[in-house]
Every structure is written in C-alpha cells, then in structure tokens.
Amino acid sequence: MMEFACSLPKLSGAGGIQIRFVQTSRAFKRHANQSRSFRTSATFLREAPGGAPEKVRGQRKVFDSVDEAVADIKSGSTVLSAGFGLCGTAETIIGAMVRRGADNLHSLTAVSNNAGTAVGGGLSPLIAGGQVTKAICSFIGNNKALESRYLNGEIAIELTPQGTLAEKIRCGGAGIPAFFTPTGVNTFVQTGQIPQRLKGSEIIEPGKPRETRIFDGRIYNMETAIKGDVAILRAHKVDEAGNCQFRYTTQSFAPLMAKAAKVSIVEAEHIVPVGELKSDEIDLPGIFIDRIVKATADKMIEFKTLRKEENLEEQGQKDPALARRNRIAKRAAKELKPGFYVNLGVGMPTLAPSYLPPDANVWIQSENGILGMGPYPTEEELDPDIINAGKETVTLVPGASTFDSSESFGMIRGGHVDVSMLGALQVGANGDLANYMIPGKVFKGMGGAMDLVGNPDATKIVVLTDHVDKSGKPKIVQNCTLPLTGARVVSTIITDLCVFDVDRKKGELTLIELAPGVELDEVKQKTGAKFNVAENLGRME
C-alpha cells in the first residue's frame, strides 16, 4: 500500500474528495544537452546524459559474458524491461546491471509492467540499489522498497494503464509518435492527477494531463509513444542471428520492447545455430536483436498456485466469507453463455468458471496474453511460463493460444471480448467504477482494469463485489467518491445480497434479483444509491 493526500475535483458526477497536496516549485531540471539531474539521498547531484550503446551492424551478436554485454549501458538511459511479474524477466541481465553498482550505472528510467515485486526479482534489485530514478509501469502491488522510495521523493513513478503501456511501446517501435485511446477517459489519467514524484505530502513532479479529441461522438485521450535506449528480455530459444522463440506467457511485453529500443539484449535459455529454428517457429525476427547472452539465472515464480480438489459448496459451509464469494460466483456464471470470450479479473471472478457445466465452451482470456486459460495446475502440470493476470500459475485448455500484450489489449479495446468481470471498491448508480485506489490507504496501480472497461458498448462489464465494505459502508453508491477506473461502464452488479441492472444512459439502477434469505428492506438499508425494483423480482440461484 502507498499513502498520500491531495484535493481533487469531481469526475463524471462523483462527489468531491478531500485529498491534500502542497505543490512546490521544485522539479526535475532538463539541461540544454538533454542530460538530467535529480535529488538523491546524498547531498550532491549526478549528471546522467543517457543515450544508447553503440549499435554495430555485422558484429557477432553472441556475447561470451553478460557483464560485457551491459558494460556500455549509460547512466540516464531509458531501459525497457520485459516480463510480466517475474514471468519472462531478464534476471541474468538485471543481475549484471546490478553488479555495475549505483556509482557506475545510475539515473535509469525503467519501463516495465511491474517495477519489481514484493518478493524480489525483476527490477527490484536495481530499485533497491538506487539505480532507477523513474519507473513507468502499470502496477506497483506490495513492493515496499518502491513505496518507500516513492514517498521519500527518491524515485518518480508514472502510472500508465497496462494496455496503454503496451500500445505506447508498440507505437514506439513502429515509428508512430502518438495515438488516441478510450482508456482512462474521465479518470485521473486524463486529468494528470496521479503525481509522478512525491516528498511526503508535497508534489515534486505532477502527472501529465492528456490532450483529448472527439471521434464519432466519443472522447479519446492522446497518448505518446515510448522508445528506449536499451531493451532487456528473456527468450526460450535464440539463434545466432538473433531470431527469438518465446514460451507461452513470457511473450507479454518482450517483442514490443525489443522493437522499441535502439539496442536490444536478449538472454536465451538455449542459444542455437542459425537454421535450427524453422521460419514458422520464430516469434521475433533477428533484426530487432543486437546482443545475445546465455540465461543463467533460474526462473522465478511469484505466486505458485496449485489446484485443490475441494468442493466449493462444502468449503463454503465451513467458511461464511467463502460462502458469500461462492454465491456471487455461482450467479456470475449465468452471465457466461456458450461460446463467449470472457476476461476474468483477479479474486471472485476467477471462481465463476467452477460453476459452468463441462460443455459450456466458454473461452477465458487473460490480459497478459492467453486465450483459453484453464484451471490452476497440479504439481506435475506446474510451468513457470504459464501465469494469469494475477501472476498465479495456471494451465491452458486444448485450443488455447498465447500472444503479446498489445494483441491482448487490442482484443479488449476492439470489443472482441463478450464479457469482462471485475471487482470493485465502489460502483455508482450510473455505472461508474472505482477499483484501484483509496487515497491515503490503497494505491497499487490500475493494471489492466482501465483497458478492460474501455469499450462497454461492445463488452459487457459485470462487477462482482460484497455489498458493503469491511466497515459496513455501502459499496454501491449514488456517486463514486473514489478515483474512477471508468465512467458509465458497468452494466450488471452482482453482490452477496442481490443483482442490479444498470442503465448507463439514464444513470439508474434496477434491482432484479435477491439472494436467498435476503429481503428488500435489507438491500435498501445497505445500498447507498436509489434504485428501482423490477416487477418480476427474482431470486439468485
């Protein structure tokens, strides 16, 4: 968790929030030669001109030493670090960068979906060692080292929705300077109200408001491309010409980042002669790879999650909290029709497939690059290269496919996914959703949630949530008071007490079902919004 305070205006009908920041004139300085200086825990400033290592066509790409391969990475560089959580991260290369030390390699801007993790690995050692001064990422999680440095003003964080981050990098590699996206409209991403750098309660560097434009009557944010000086990635097989083959969900950001960097370094589990990889086995052509090193660091699993052969209903009889979750998940399964393509958020949504019949033929999509996600693995099925969006180990069903993150979010924003299920901190009567931030208490980053709700006219957004929070306060409110994930996006709300239909245009709720044993008066008492009652009020099964 990460704490800060500020004062923010209403968004999309939300009530005002009182969160205080004291803005100061101190900011990062950009010198005429584009070098940058920054505040450190020491009493001096270091110059970091940045720039990419020299790129030499025709030289042998395979390096005998990983330390040699990273020796000319410059302080002040922008480093694109592939991987999702700890899946597909370049641990061998990162280790060599750490060995260079903060005096020799510092002031790095790191671009990665996760800026390290709570359990170490990934960018964690570079951040802990003070070598990274800015992180561009979508998710912070419970990374205490990163939290501490952010709150002390030692590192800047530019939070970017996961799908937007993938597209910014893709465009950087494709020579496209900017693009318009529906993701983040009417949120703090659009208004720039997520500070990049803090010092206690002061804003040292504010967020960047987005330029907007209307297409076909809808508002879009303009996002600019990301390019890097160096990309670091891990692949399964790489031939001596640089052609890469990835395994399963290790693709995520790897091909995108290799294309967007001036110099790309790959660590390979297997380095093979040219010709051993068949043309149709190559996921990334060698034109995008400049240096190859042997991967020597072991793969790490962030959340080893195994399948439990337990009856959910029986377990629910022993655990009231699980019983509530089961009730919500069982009702949610009715939203998943045969042949549907469905994205399930972490937590309760992942329980819904357990209540589907064996022949349901529902395809589960995970935004880190899976279509056809299966259940958690047994110990024998465990594979560190197959994880879901929550970084948990999973399996693949027959007919499943894997792909990079830009293709994954293209499916979502493009409206090809039929239903998306998410959790919530608050849901407004007009369909507003808040699920990533409680100012002063919770600030883990939005991950892919803003993208998942980015096309609510094509993808039905279903919220699964307890009716009240831990303190008994309603989570279904007339107007959201928490920062929004998306405005007017939710179509159905399923709680442990009832089911609401949401009219996003009129901004109205209609109660359509009550849970067993729940009466209308209880729902009225525990709901912080006005609602209509359906003539044929049903019961959740």
User: What amino acid positions are annotated as catalytic residues?
Assistant: 367
CA angle, 529 as apex, 524 and 531 as ends, to 5°?
70
Q: Which residue has the tokens 């891990």?
A: 234
Burial class of residue 281, CB neighbours in 10 A (0-12, 13-18, 19+)? exposed
Contact between 157 and 211 under an 8 Å Cβ cutoff? The reply is no
**49, two tokens:** 């001109």
**395, two tokens:** 């399996």
CA angle, 114 as apex, 352 and 387 as ends, to 5°?
40
**436, two tokens:** 């990533």
**479, two tokens:** 């107007």
Rounded to whole angstroms, the Cα distance separating 86 from 82 reads 10
Per the document, the length of the chain is: 541
Contact between 283 and 403 under an 8 Å Cβ cutoff? The reply is no
The neighbour count for residue 109, using CB atoms within 10 Å, is: 22
Burial class of residue 310, CB neighbours in 10 A (0-12, 13-18, 19+)? exposed
**92, two tokens:** 């061998």
CA angle, 513 as apex, 511 and 518 as ends, to 5°?
100
Q: Which residue has the tokens 């040219």?
A: 274
Rounded to whole angstroms, the Cα distance separating 338 from 480 reads 34
What ranges make up the beta strands (E) of 129-227?
A: 132-137, 156-159, 178-181, 197-199, 202-205, 212-215, 218-224
Contact between 24 and 202 under an 8 Å Cβ cutoff? The reply is yes
Q: How far is CA 466 from the centre of its chain?
A: 23
Instruction: Return the half-sphere exposure (C-beta side, CA atoms, 13 A cut-off) of residue 95.
Output: 14
Rounded to whole angstroms, the Cα distance separating 485 from 168 reads 19
DSSP 226-264: --EEEEEEEEEEEETT--EE--GGG-TTHHHHHHHEEEE
Contact between 317 and 394 under an 8 Å Cβ cutoff? The reply is no
